[in-house]
Amino acid sequence: METQDHKRLSNYEVEERAMEAEALLVDPVLNSALDDIRSRHMGTLLEADVGTLTASSAHASLKAITDLREQLKQYIADHKVRQKYNKGDK
């Protein structure tokens, strides 16, 4: 479902953002960097005591990486919804 911010964008802007999101999701350098950061923070999380600031920080970083990837996927989904709506396949 589209958020209020997305409704303010033109169809062209939504499409462009979706195309850029797709490119980022398959970019090997970006994915390698995110995977390296994720791996590093996963190790920190596993070594840290539950409830410590270190564990909380590592968890927040892992969540941020997941949220970034999910947001990029949402941009693509938003574009697909708009395409379907504009074709009349409501």
- Integer-rounded Cα Rg, in Å, for the chain is 17
Q: 63: part of which helix (H) or strand (E)?
A: helix 53-87
84 or 54: which carries more pLDDT confidence? 54
* Single pTM value for the model: 0.81
Using the predicted structure, report yes or no on whether residue 88 has a pLDDT greater than 80: no
d(CA 42, CA 59): 8
Using the predicted structure, report yes or no on whether residue 89 has a pLDDT greater than 80: no
> Could you tell me the residue ranges of all domains in the chain?
11-87
* Cβ proximity of 33 and 27 under 8 Å: no
**Can you read off the two tokens belonging to residue 48?**
């840290």
What tens digit of pLDDT does each residue of 8-19 get?
A: 889 899 999 999
Question: For the chain, first and last CA: distance in Å?
Answer: 13
What tens digit of pLDDT does each residue of 17-69 get?
A: 999 999 999 999 999 999 999 999 999 999 999 999 999 999 999 999 999 99
